[in-house]
Amino acid sequence: MIYFDNSATTLPNPEVVKVYGEVAQQYFGNPSSLHKLGSKAARLLAQSRQVAAESLGVLPDEIIFTSGGTESNNAALKGVAWQYRNRGKHIIISQVEHSSVYEAGKQLEEMGYTVTYVPVDDEGRVAPSTIEQAMRDDTILVSVMYVNNELGTVQPVKEIGDILSRYPKTLFHVDAVQGFGKLPVEPSRWGADLLSLSAHKFHGVRGVGLLYVRKGIRLSPLIIGGGQEEGRRSGTENLPGIVAMAKAMRMAKESLQRNREHMETLRHHLLSKLENFPGCRINGPQKNDSCAAPHIINFSFPGLKSEVVLHALEEKEIYLSTQSACSSRQFKPSRVLLAAGMDAERAGSSLRVSFSASNILEEVDRFMRVIEETIPNLAKIMRV
């Protein structure tokens, strides 16, 4: 099997799974319970918060544990919108945000907020000047992702943060779900006020993530109830998932440089082969290393529907994606690729390879051999 769908989800690291199991079995107490078992669990929760904070270079009480990227993004957008509605009702996001940001924007529009969806260039990149042009007196939030999950475009978050430092009434949220473990994630350096992560994208387990919220910022909570996470996110904490995520964060941080270089090597290797493959169009920023993430390559064989190629490759036990996993069952051309100016045919034939540090060069070569066998045959059948 060749698994090239790591932007959809990663295989949890065995050491992380072991920690998950140990905590689930041995520290099953509720961190809110006043007895000894509760205190032990609470201590473990505090340690995990410390590790997560250190991995991001922020303070422990700036971390809110959540159920993953979707919740973190919803909590950021709606939490800011509801909390600061008297300050203004205008929000800026990019046209290529993940659906958990994009759809939250749509929902806020239905609630009376105004959302500006800033356009991107043909590599899927947001120009910082477009953010500045969209700014209004009543703009309370700008949300721009770090790494685009479909094209692999790295957005100029530091430059956007620099611009926003001149607008003290506007908060800055970064969805860094696809960046952590692949590139440095530095909310303080970027001037980000809020930042989302999801553990299953960096070899943690499913159903856990975090939202960084800079000290002093208040959020209207998305989930209310027992007052856990200082009242910012109620619900009994997913302690095994949180401890496992902290472990995965530490591991990802420690091997970041090595992993990044390795995935970069894989990407360059695959790119050099695809570029020379007849009829293949590379989508996104791949020619430009400074704004391409190391792990994602998006390409099309115009004329061949993505699903057809995906299933043909699946028969050879090669797994990749047609677009973001959440939208890939919708069978319509990717909103993100259309926003980057691609026509419906190119967008409708797009494929995404996404690496993890466990992939190897031989897999890329094997993948290319299968492409060389499969694509010309499919092209013949489609022409008949």
Ligand X SMILES: Cc1ncc(COP(=O)(O)O)c(C=O)c1O
68 binds ligand X (CB under 6 A): yes
Q: Tell me how far the alpha carbon of residue 22 is from its chain's centroid.
A: 28
Instruction: Please give the DSSP secondary-structure letter assigned to residue 146.
Output: S
Size of the residue set binding ligand X (CB under 6 A): 15
Token pair listed for 335: 């909103």
Site string for ligand X, 19-58 (x = CB under 6 A): ----------------------------------------
Exposure string of 130-151, with b = 16+ CB inside 10 Å and e = fewer, is bbeebbeeebbbbbbbbbbbbb
Q: Quick check: is 291 catalytic?
A: no
Q: List the interface residues with ligand X, window 194-233 (CB under 6 A).
A: 198, 209
First-residue to last-residue Cα distance in the chain? 31
User: Which contiguous run of DSSP H or E holds residue 39?
Assistant: helix 36-56
Range in contact with ligand X (rule: CB under 6 A) among 64-72, 102-110, 231-239, 253-261: 64-72
Range in contact with ligand X (rule: CB under 6 A) among 57-65, 66-74, 233-241, 347-355: 66-74
Question: 261: Cβ–Cβ under 8 A, 6 or more apart, which residues?
Answer: 294
Range in contact with ligand X (rule: CB under 6 A) among 175-183, 231-239, 246-254, 259-267: 175-183
Nearest approach, Cβ of 217 to ligand X (angstroms)? 20
Nearer to ligand X, 70 or 350 (CB): 70
Range in contact with ligand X (rule: CB under 6 A) among 26-34, 53-61, 170-178, 273-281: 170-178
Find, among 126, 119, 198, 202, the residue nearest to 158 by Cα: 126
Token pair listed for 105: 């924007």
Evaluated on CA atoms 173, 74, 86, 92, the torsion sign reads positive
Nearer to ligand X, 89 or 203 (CB): 203
Catalytic residue, chosen from 183, 326, 338, 368, is 326
Nearest approach, Cβ of 66 to ligand X (angstroms)? 9
Burial of 290 per CB tally in 10 Å (0-12, 13-18, 19+): exposed
241 binds ligand X (CB under 6 A): no
Nearer to ligand X, 143 or 374 (CB): 143
323 binds ligand X (CB under 6 A): no
Nearer to ligand X, 70 or 139 (CB): 70
177 binds ligand X (CB under 6 A): yes
Q: Are strands 194-198 and 171-175 parallel, antiparallel or unpaired?
A: parallel
Amino acid at 141: L
Among 12, 31, 69, 285, binds ligand X (CB under 6 A): 69
Range in contact with ligand X (rule: CB under 6 A) among 68-76, 103-111, 249-257, 274-282: 68-76
Site string for ligand X, 124-153 (x = CB under 6 A): ---------------------x---x----
Nearest approach, Cβ of 74 to ligand X (angstroms)? 9
Instruction: Please give the DSSP secondary-structure letter assigned to residue 100.
Output: H
Angle at 226 between CA 222 and CA 230, to 5 degrees: 70
Exposure string of 252-277, with b = 16+ CB inside 10 Å and e = fewer, is bbeebeebbebbbebbeebbebbeee
SS3 label, residue 88: coil
Among 183, 280, 325, 368, binds ligand X (CB under 6 A): 325
Contacting positions for ligand X (CB under 6 A)? 68-70, 73, 98, 100, 145, 149, 175, 177-178, 198, 209, 324-325
